[in-house]
Amino acid sequence: MGPWDESRLGPVPDDPRYDPELLRDGDTRNVVDAYRYWTREAIIADIDTRRHPLHIAIENFGNDANIGSVVRTANAFAVHTVHIVGRRRWNRRGAMVTDRYQRLRHHDTTAALLSFAAEHDLTVVAVDNIPGAVRLEHTELPRHCLMIFGQEGPGITEDAKAGAAMTVSIAQFGSTRSINAAVAAGIAMHTWVRQHADLDRAW
């Protein structure tokens, strides 16, 4: 969007949430129209009033390329925090700059993540197509929840399996052994949103 157009939008806002430079030069960021021309800090503060009690974790012991997409989807659903377990470095390209607005936290090990969940009364739900998993489509997810996703290929670690209160799987009908980790995360997050979010607050 170009510079603020007074003929179309009215007087330039006298509101501290608005960024004078963006009002003057235009706003080309990947944000919803409600946040257009707002400062980054103002956007984060507003999202903080909308965040859900859902946490997402992805294990990154093999430098998983899906993390950026998971962060972008978590931002879209106002997930409380995305936890990255293992390697600190990850490809941010897939996040499409949403990592600037999304809470992120790093844990060196899955054990450290599980300790965080216990300290914050979060029920741990592993998401993987493994024997003994229950169907996500038939499961009521906990409201205060931390979902763990394994890296592409090997799936969740043994520590995650042992530490989870439940493991859920996504119904599949084709020949592939598993679906993309970022896609699985999006499906699981949206399932939580359908069960627990106030859809009247969605854009």
pLDDT tens-place string over residues 29-44: 999 999 999 999 999 9
- Considering the entire predicted model, what is its pTM? 0.94
**Could you tell me if residue 38 is inside a domain?**
no
5 burial level (CB within 10 Å; 0-12, 13-18, 19+) = exposed
**Could you tell me if residue 100 is inside a domain?**
yes
Please count the structural domains in the chain: 1
**Could you tell me if residue 102 is inside a domain?**
yes
pLDDT tens-place string over residues 97-152: 999 999 999 999 999 999 999 999 999 999 999 999 999 999 999 999 999 999 87
Query: Any idea what the CATH number is for the domain that residue 115 is in?
Result: 3.40.1280.10
**Could you tell me if residue 183 is inside a domain?**
yes
Average pLDDT over residues 1-7: 95
Residue numbers of the domain that contains 68: 50-198
